[in-house]
Amino acid sequence: MNHSFTKLWNITFLVVTPIWAVFVWMIWTSGQLKTPHHELLFFSVVIPGFLLIYLSGFVIAKRHALKQSALKQ
């Protein structure tokens, strides 16, 4: 790997975020979310889910680094 994981992960999310936003917009404008409760539920799942996926990459990288350092010892 020529770059750090953090740089590659951030570049990936710079590409994925606009695509994700288009999908969210398509669902939002589709008419499937009929009540304010549905809209609130949608955003309470989509936004934390996106952030959780983003942050989980750093957790995975940290665990991998710990395993690699344990193998070197």
pLDDT averaged per 10 residues, the chain (length 73): 81 93 95 94 95 92 87 79
The whole-number pLDDT of residue 67 equals 87
The whole-number pLDDT of residue 1 equals 59
- Give me the amino acid identity at 6: T
Can you tell me the distance from the alpha carbon of 35 to that of 31, in angstroms, rounded to the nearest whole number? 10
Helices (H) and strands (E) in the chain, counts: 2, 0
Task: Pick the closest to residue 24 from 43, 10, 44 (CA basis).
Answer: 43
How does the average pLDDT of the chain come out, rounded?
Answer: 91
User: How much is the pTM?
Assistant: 0.75
The whole-number pLDDT of residue 51 equals 94
